[in-house]
Structure 1
Amino acid sequence: MKTIDRYVYAVTRRLPDAQRKDVADELRSLIEDMVYERVQDRDVTEEDVEDVLLELGPPKNLARKYRGTKKYVIGPELYDLYTMVLKISLISTVAAFSAVFIIQVILNPINIVDYFVNYLVSFFTILPMVFGWITLGFALAEYFGNGALEKLQQDKEWKPSNLPPVPDPKRQIKRREPIAGIVFYVLVIVILAFSNDYFGIWIFREDRFAGIVSFLNEDTYGSFLVVILIVFGFGIVKECLKFFYEKWTYSLVGFTAAVNLFSIVLVLFIMTDALFWNPNFMNELVQHGFVIKGSESYETIRLIWEQLTFWMLILLIFGLLWDVIAGGIKVRKAK
């Protein structure tokens, strides 16, 4: 019966992956035995199944008995996933730092000592930040999944009819999707926080590195950095919550919409501020001999530079909106 499947799913989704199959088989067998013991020789009805499930109690309580634990910030059902995501993110961060360090040494080996010191200092600044955002995301998933929302439901009389349905494959969130999202946000944080001076046009003369014309205003960029870290940090939290929900729901779509709207407002605030961009970009290109002022290539690059903010905003806003729209479409298709 579907009610049994929903109950088994509601219990096992709160357990670590390694336990789920064995517990599901054991619990389904237990429920069937209890049902047939109750009905004896007559036909099984939906009411009989509901009576047995009421006797077993709310799925959250039964899952807690299987786990043998009660209090935690990140519960067993999310802990294995949390450690996996944390490892992937930290490895990505170290890989990004190492890549930047190698590039710096190749381009300017004379300053290798300074680069190495910055390389070590970076770990003590960005790694705790990555750890904190991911932990916050999973803690919120734990809180809203097994804490506040379920406590509100538990205050009411629990009924099997309150069981959530088994996720429809059409709106399931594959784990590789939020993992890829978290890695992306982590790498962007690393690049924008510690390698922003490499974000520009690289100038080479006679096959030798001559410098970088930065897209960003190095004098004022630091004042925008906190806002940038907040934007991408909330992106990490959003991806972490997808792990718990495991499927697109209206609640998840609503939370995603709120986070993305908040991000769009902050992105507009940052990118439309003239102080964010390098005011001497075109002049520095001329000074490095990259273009000749007044030439056709100069006018083309100037036009692209003037429209860069607009198109970057369009792409970022479209990506954030599509994240919400795609989730909403999956929820509606599953209805």
Structure 2
Amino acid sequence: MSDLIGRYVAETVRHLSASERIDVSRELEANIQDMVGEDGSEEHIEQVLLDLGSPSDLAKQYRGKARYLIGPDTFDFYWMVLKLVSLVVGIVTVVISLISLFFSATPMNLGTMIAKPIGSLFSALASAFLWVTISFAIMDHYQVNATSERWDAKALHSLEEAPTRIIKKSDSIADMVGLSVFFLLLAVLLSKPELIAIYRKDAAAVPLFVGSALQPFIIGWMAATILSFIVSALKWFKGRWTPTLFVLSASADLLGIVYFIFVVTRWQLYNPAFLTLFPGSMTRWQIIIKAASVVLLILTLIGNGDDAYTVFRKTRPDEAAPAPRR
């Protein structure tokens, strides 16, 4: 079987459920081989696959039934966005509810402590469903193409990137959820910077930072977190590495770690009373913080190097073949 056919089939079944993929893969391979016939030239195979249409459109024909909640052309993208938004909104809502319960000045019984997060979660998920559905209904009404998929010879040959350069959606979703929770914690810290402290039973809490000095840096940290969230959303939306996406991802990672190092090495931010609770001079703590910062920077560079290897390495022996016919 032609390598190009194999990549086309793999990309098509990727849009189907796991239970359908084996049968559809066999059927589609047999159908394509029948269409190719005796002429096994690369040009003929390319034309057959172009005539079949894009893998995502072909996958819709194999599902066995149409979906009409929003519209068959945009339903898959709508469903994917709805699941992502619901997951992020749900986790952030639960975290906010738990934090509000922890810092509530009003005593609550166990029933209220359980019912309040559940009620907030249901309300947040209902709002997410409502606004995502309304947005896609409007897009469908005005025939806005949300996927902007192009299908030509260049797109066909680009399928060779899929087996090695796919970005797992679970990884992107985990990044977005983590960044959302971290942004929430930064927002809490912005309003109450004294929360990071040592709490003692018979004495006042000793904050780690000087609150008024830390707050301006938290705003910059929140901006860097938003940028990282946008890049993670792009990785989730694209689903595979491209050189441009790698540059954006690496830049966001480096910006985040450099800003982190910049903040933690502002020695005026630390509360002297906090440091006196531990053995060692300020010079010793500076050495520890600098060493930890170097380790984090090295780990970030290693991660970016691994991504660069995935994006730019030659993964197939035929990648040096002539450019696809246009």
Bin the TM-score by the shorter chain: 0.5 to 0.7
- Does 2:255 match 1:262? yes
After TM superposition, give the deviation of residue 58 of structure 1 in Å: 4.9
Q: Deviations over 1:190-221 (max 9, x none)?
A: 222204636534131xxx26443223331133
Structure 2 residues not aligned, in runs of 5+: 133-145, 317-326
Of 208, 212, 218, the match for 2:211: 218
- TM-score, with structure 1 as normaliser: 0.62
The 1-side partners of 2:266 and 2:283 are apart by 18
Whose helix fraction is larger, Structure 1's or Structure 2's? Answer: 1
> Would the alpha carbon gap of residues 252 and 17 (structure 1) be closer, same or farther in structure 2, given more than 3 Å must change?
farther
Alignment of 1:7-22 (within 5 A): 7-11=8-12, 13=14, 15=15, 17=17, 21=21
The 2-side partners of 1:184 and 1:268 are apart by 20
After TM superposition, give the deviation of residue 325 of structure 1 in Å: 1.3
Alignment of 1:86-125 (within 5 A): 86-104=85-103, 111-112=105-106
Q: Which amino acid aligns with 1:322?
A: I
Q: Aligned-pair RMSD on alpha carbons?
A: 4.5
Of 263, 275, 283, the match for 2:273: 283
Q: Which amino acid aligns with 1:313?
A: S
Alignment correspondent of 2:157 = 162
After TM superposition, give the deviation of residue 30 of structure 1 in Å: 4.2
> What SS is found at the alignment partner of 1:164?
helix
The 1-side partners of 2:291 and 2:101 are apart by 31
Of 303, 312, 317, the match for 2:297: 317
Q: Which amino acid aligns with 2:6?
A: D
> Would the alpha carbon gap of residues 78 and 210 (structure 1) be closer, same or farther in structure 2, given more than 3 Å must change?
farther
Identity fraction in percent: 23
> Would the alpha carbon gap of residues 8 and 232 (structure 1) be closer, same or farther in structure 2, given more than 3 Å must change?
same
- Does 2:237 match 1:238? no
Alignment correspondent of 1:55 = 51
> Would the alpha carbon gap of residues 244 and 95 (structure 1) be closer, same or farther in structure 2, given more than 3 Å must change?
same
Alignment correspondent of 2:246 = 253
After TM superposition, give the deviation of residue 189 of structure 1 in Å: 1.5
The 1-side partners of 2:304 and 2:214 are apart by 30
Contact 2:77 2:147 in 1 (8 A): no
Structure 1 residues not aligned, in runs of 5+: 106-110, 136-144, 292-296
After TM superposition, give the deviation of residue 324 of structure 1 in Å: 1.0
The 1-side partners of 2:293 and 2:195 are apart by 17
Q: Kindly tell me the number of residue pairs found equivalent between the two proteins.
A: 280
